[in-house]
Amino acid sequence: MSHTKILLVDDEVEFVSALAERLELRNYEVKTASNALEALGLIHGYLPDVIVLDLRIPGMDGIETLKTIKKYDPAIEVIMLTGHGDSQSVEEGMKSGAFEYIMKPVDIGELTSKIDKAKRKREKG
Amino acid sequence: MSANIEPKDSIKQKVIGLLHNLFHPHDYFHVLGADRYTSLKIRIILLDAILSLVPLIIVITISYFWFQKILKDDFSHQLRWEIENTKQSIEFFLDERLSGLRFLSSAYTYEQLSDQKTLAGIFSKFKREVGGLVDIGVIDSNGIQRSYVGPYPLEGKSYANQDWFNEIIVRSSYVSDVFMGYRKIPHFAIAVKRDIPEKGTFWILRATIDMETLKKYPSRINLRKNDDAFIVNREGILQTPSRFQGNILEKFQQCTLPQEEIAVTEVREPADRQSMCGYAYINNSPWILVAVIKSTPYGKIPKIFRNELFILSVISIFIGIAVTVVMTQTVVNRIHKSDQEREEAIAKTEHASKLASVGRLAAGVAHEINNPLAIINEKAGLMKDILETSDDLQKNKEKFLVLINGIFESVNRCRTITHRLLGFSRRMDISHDTIDVNDAIKEVVEFLEKEMLYRNIRLEMNLQPGLPKVETDKGQLQQVFLNIINNAIDAVEEGGLIAISSGVRDEKMVRVSIRDDGSGIPREKLKYIFEPFYTTKEKGKGTGLGLSISFGIMQRLGGTILVESEISKGTTFFVEIPMKAGAV
């Protein structure tokens, strides 16, 4: 299995940097963005396999960002990051083509297994 | 002077107030207070009774007066008819006697009648046929009585200078006024003139008639206790005795004589007593028959009719009131019941809404706390990862310190949130604190800042520095701000604007305005927005209670909420808070 390229999108810089480091320790290639525009800007050059996207980010709304990503490249898999009480947004996200969702605070094992599944799906698809 | 005007004004105001209350139930309740259903009942019953009874009373009154008028007209017709009859009888009486004289004057010659004996013979027979004659005489063209039959020695008496003699020269017959004459007994004379063409002269046959027969005629009119009927001449001198107007030959002064031949007129006397006067001119005589009717039998509606009218009115009024009372009872009970149901429903929904807002608060807090928790989770996780992959603690010391500091920062964030939450809940009890409205607004905004940030909503705060402190319930006031700002957040588009400003309205009030640039509220919906259960939000998103609860809170705090809205420009809510609790 080749290197999995991940893009982490969340406005909590402290959270995103620590999580990125943990994923790198697990041999993933990780880039981070703190808002939707930054994320969309990175996609072009970086071409991530999986995007871990917080649904509540400043600027563009999470669901809108998800739709834009899927429009740009349907093969990129998106895992949504949510807090509690966002079931409606999660449902909408799944309908809009998200691969999976995961609740904050994140269990690292659960996240990596979902990332791997997404990567496998991307390679098969 | 002003002391004189004030009571008048207050009476006027009371009357206006009473009328106003009668037609504006809400104010009425306000005035009468707690037992508003009884007030409502009384009000409906009163209004209904007025509505149904007034026409009934009008109809009864009109029919009463109408009936009275018919009776009066009938009475007046009856009187006229009686007067006419009597007039005809008198005319017939006079005519009969004049005809008799006329017959005698043509059946006998002047010479025959000038003979005392012949005249006496004729008179005794004539008197038998025609009653009331006292005497008879023949007068020549010089006015000298040539022959006379009667109780007085009047033969040879000259009438040349008397008015009636001059008058009969131009007329063929004559009826005199009543006079006393030699006998000092009232009587009147009738005379016919007979011309002797071949001699170019004339003679007169004259008879006097006593009053007994004439007196009887006026009393044929149906007279009651206060009524009077008599004959007067054209100068108003009584010709027959009268009950109330005086004796024969006195002047009758009461009524002015009419132009018509027969008339019945109404006379209103100074003492406001009504009376009727009937007149009839008696043809070929100087007389007028007069009836003065002071009794008013027409004023008394027959007892049967009055009783029926009374019983009918009482029955209809009773039925009307009974129906009104029963209907009102039913309607008001219905209203009472539905009000109770509504109040129960409101209470239920209010409870549900409280639960919902607790839920919302919990979700919001969970969300707020989730982020620092996630950071702690990742930092601790990373430290664990590092420990698992490398044994060299010294090498990673710096890194660990940074991560631990990050964890402490996140814990601090959580602490701030829990403190804010505790502060909020502590203020849920009703209390009167002296607070800075600006601080209260800032605290509420802190809760909602994140939400606005995510939705790209611009927040403009224009709080007046040094705003006077107000004495109020901070928690309740903050609930009002929370509700209104929440609504504003829901109302604006992504990237919209919410502007909050504070200031002093006057020496008693502080005013906070919360403006959004949303789509605005249409004028027809504006009046409902403070009503419970009214919501413009999507189904399931709003309970429709936020503004009504806020309105209730502001009323309790002695303030108010006002709203201005313009379609596609936005809505502004003004929250006005009294500086002293209960000052307004």
**pLDDT tier for residue B538 given thresholds of 50, 70 and 90:** low
Closest B-chain CA to A10: B371
Omega into A105 within 30° of 0, i.e. cis?
yes
Interface contact A105-B370, CB threshold 8 A: yes
Tens of pLDDT, residue by residue over B323-358, are 888 988 898 889 888 888 888 887 787 777 666 666
Q: What is the pTM of this model?
A: 0.47
For domain B431-578, the question of CATH label 3.40.630.40 is answered with no
Task: For residues B237-263, give the mean pLDDT.
Answer: 75
- Which residues of chain A lie closer than 8 angstroms to B363, CB-CB? 84-85
Return phi, psi of residue A51, to 5°: -110, 125
Average pLDDT of chain B to the nearest whole number? 82
Task: For residues B95-118, give the mean pLDDT.
Answer: 90
- Which residues of chain A lie closer than 8 angstroms to B370, CB-CB? 83-84, 104-105
Task: For residues B391-413, give the mean pLDDT.
Answer: 88
Report the range of poorest mean pLDDT among B171-175, B366-370, B519-523.
B366-370
Q: Which of A21, A58, A105 sits opposite B373 (nearest CB)?
A: A105
Tens of pLDDT, residue by residue over B38-83, are 888 888 888 888 888 888 888 888 888 888 888 888 888 988 999 9
- Which residues of chain B lie closer than 8 angstroms to A105, CB-CB? 370, 373-374, 376-378
Interface contact A85-B366, CB threshold 8 A: yes
Domain boundaries, chain B: 79-301, 431-578
- Which residues of chain A lie closer than 8 angstroms to B386, CB-CB? 25
Has residue B498 got a pLDDT over 80? Answer: yes
Interface contact A59-B456, CB threshold 8 A: yes
Tens of pLDDT, residue by residue over A53-107, are 998 887 778 899 999 999 999 999 999 998 766 778 889 999 999 999 999 889 9
What pLDDT, on a 0 to 100 scale, did the predictor assign at position B30? Answer: 43
- Strands of A77-82's sheet in order across: A29-33, A5-9, A50-54, A77-82, A100-103
Has residue B514 got a pLDDT over 80? Answer: yes
How many Å lie between the alpha carbon of A28 and the closest alpha carbon of chain B?
14
How many Å lie between the alpha carbon of B338 and the closest alpha carbon of chain A?
37
Is the distance from CB of B82 to CB of B222 less than 8 angstroms?
yes
SS (H, E, C) B471-534: EECHHHHHHHHHHHHHHHHHHCCCCCEEEEEEEECCCCEEEEEEEECCCCCCHHHHCCCCCCCC
Has residue B3 got a pLDDT over 60? Answer: no
- Give B458's strand partners: B497
Nearest-10 Cα torsion for B316, B321, B327, B330 = -140
- Domains of chain A, earliest start first: 5-124 (3.40.50.2300)
For domain B79-301, the question of CATH label 3.30.450.20 is answered with yes
Has residue B6 got a pLDDT over 60? Answer: no
Size of interface A-B (CB pairs under 8 A): 68
What pLDDT, on a 0 to 100 scale, did the predictor assign at position B364? Answer: 66
C-alpha–C-alpha distance, residues B269 and B151, integer Å: 46
- Which residues of chain A lie closer than 8 angstroms to B374, CB-CB? 12, 15, 104-106
Structure tokens at B311: 């019983």
Tens of pLDDT, residue by residue over B415-470, are 877 776 665 555 444 567 788 999 999 988 887 887 788 788 899 999 999 899 99
A-contacting residues in B 351-410 (Cβ below 8 Å): 363, 366-367, 370-371, 373-379, 381-382, 385-386, 389, 403, 406, 409-410
